[in-house]
Amino acid sequence: MTTTAQVTPTSDKKSIKNQILNHIRYEHLVAGLSGGLVSTLILHPLDVIKIRFAVHDGRSGATPKYTGIANAFVTIYRQEGVKGLYRGVTPNCWGAGSSWGLYFLFYNSLKVFIQKGNIQQPLSPTQHLLAASQAGAFTLLFTNPLWVVKTRLCLQYGFLEPNKEMYKGMMDALTKIYSKEGVRGYYKGFLPGLFGVSHGAIQFMVYEEMKNKYNFYQGTSITTKLTSFEYLTCAAVSKLVAAATTYPYQVIRARLQNQHYSYDGATDCIVKTWSFEGWRGFYKGLGTNLLRVTPATMITFLTYENVVHFLMKKRVEEG
């Protein structure tokens, strides 16, 4: 007499956990980390300018006003030197590097899990959105404290507040934020950040769909390595689409993280921004953002694709 083994809910959970763990590849972490670091080091000054544009609401005298990107760049350089243009670069490198590394790691692990191990199986746009959204939420949970620190370091105006205590660097900021605001201080802007997960989800969906459709048109496998120009084109288009549709959350998040002005939460920030500035207030810094994030994304994705293909090829060769 043959007996059938019963599968308990606990064993189901262990099985799913093991399946996910089996699909984790460190190559995606290393490649994403490399891409994030390279793009951040090259384009950080534009990030400083974007943040300063985003938090300027016309009501706080502690926030300097610039007439444009070029004026902001020159003014910051004259008043604060090169150091001013690279305020917050350390947490930005940590944040961008770890964010891209973790995002690519989580996203590809979830994607292969959905594909049930068959990496040649293309996903639907909905499945791309699901995997990217989950990867974004996991990543933000780990990295939000770094984004709070980066924002605050970028918003230190020593020339306007000579008597105010300044953060000396990333570790000093992490320590002081915790001592004065507790763990909650690390997660300011987390809620709009979660809304921002849609940004990454849309970007990855468009990017993956473009690659898959192009490979299908070429009659090649979806895992086929593209040329640098093709990766750059897919990355640029996907970033432009995502940025245009989800930018307002970045303004709200930056304002909530701004140490010079206090809001009673995301809703209060949204209401006040709309009341005093209208819809334009939600798009402050968009031009700078596009100028920065589009080439940043192109650099990140190109670096990632080349590094991950190199590492995966090395893994196969080593058996």
pLDDT in tens, 123-160: 999 999 999 999 999 999 999 998 898 888 888 865 55
Residues in CB range of 220: below 8 A, 6 or more apart: none
Between these two residues, 5 and 200, which has the higher pLDDT value? Answer: 200
Residue among 295, 268, 296, 269 nearest 282 (CA):
269
**In the structure encoding, which two tokens stand for residue 256, read together?**
């909530």
Residue type, 9: P
Task: Specify the pLDDT at position 208.
Answer: 94
pLDDT for 4 beyond 50:
no
| Whole-angstrom distance, CA of residue 97 vs CA of residue 47 | 15
Q: What is the pTM of this model?
A: 0.70
Domain spanning 24-156+166-318, CATH class: mainly alpha
pLDDT for 119 beyond 90:
no
Between these two residues, 281 and 165, which has the higher pLDDT value? Answer: 281
Give, in degrees to the nearest 5, the angle at Cα 11 between 7 and 13.
125
pLDDT for 7 beyond 60:
no
Burial class (CB in 10 A: 0-12, 13-18, 19+), 55: buried
Taking residues 85-114, report their average pLDDT.
Answer: 89
